[in-house]
Each structure stands twice: as C-alpha cells, then as structure tokens.
Amino acid sequence: SYVLTQPPSVSVAPGQTARITCGGNNIGSKSVHWYQQKPGQAPVLVVYDDSDRPSGIPERFSGSNSGNTATLTISRVEAGDEADYYCQVWDSSSDWVFGGGTKLTVL
C-alpha cells in the first residue's frame, strides 16, 4: 500500500512562511491535494493537482511536488491559518490515501 508521511507539527510566527511536507515514494509522479481542517470542522480543499487553488482560497496558499516530496507553502501566515493540514493522493493499489496530518501552530 502507498504511504504518505507528514511531520506531526509545524510552528511559524505570524507573517512568516510555513512549509508543510508530504513524503511518498516517487510522489512527484502523482497529483497531490491538500486539505485544511480546523477544530470541529470538516476538511476544506486548499490546493489540488499539486499547485492549483480552488476559488476562494487565498493566493498565500501554494503547492509544489517533485521527487519524493510534495510541499504546501503558506505565505504571510495569519492566526486564522492555524489548523491541521492533510495531503492526499490517489494510488491504483491503495485508492485514496491521506497523510497522517500536520498541525500548524501560529506562534
């Protein structure tokens, strides 16, 4: 089965840049999607197909994907960005796979 590995936590000061990684075997050959989940709420898609943003998602959210690592980058971090973030891919042997999630703390 395909496994996605995320750091459990990332901390960043307001106004700085947060980078959340998602590791997987040759993940660069797959399309990676990212979700934001705030406490008690449903997940929200923030980046799809590696680097595209759904309508309504700020340009501060961006993504990249190469080799064995995909990255979600949040620029000019705000207090409201504090949440859990999950990466996700589709794999022919595992279907829909989620990473374990990363808790973003805004200091």
Partner 1 sequence: EVQLVESGGGLVQPGGSLRLSCAASGFTFSSYEMNWVRQAPGKGLEWVSYISSSGSTIYYADSVKGRFTISRDNAKNSLYLQMNSLRAEDTAVYYCARLGYGSGYYMDVWGKGTTVTVSS
Least distance between partner 1 and beta carbon 1 (Å): 9
Q: Is 57 helix (H, G, I), strand (E, B) or coil?
A: coil
Q: Report the residue number, 17 or 66, with the smaller CB distance to partner 1.
A: 66
The amino acid sitting at 95 is D
Interaction between residue 78 and partner 1 (CB under 8 A): no
The beta strand positions in the chain, using DSSP E, are 9-12, 18-23, 33-37, 44-47, 61-66, 69-74, 83-91, 95-98, 102-106
Among 27, 99, 104, 106, the residue binding partner 1 under the rule CB under 8 A is 99
Binding-site ranges for partner 1 (CB under 8 A): 30-33, 35, 37, 41-45, 48-50, 52, 54, 86, 88-90, 95-101
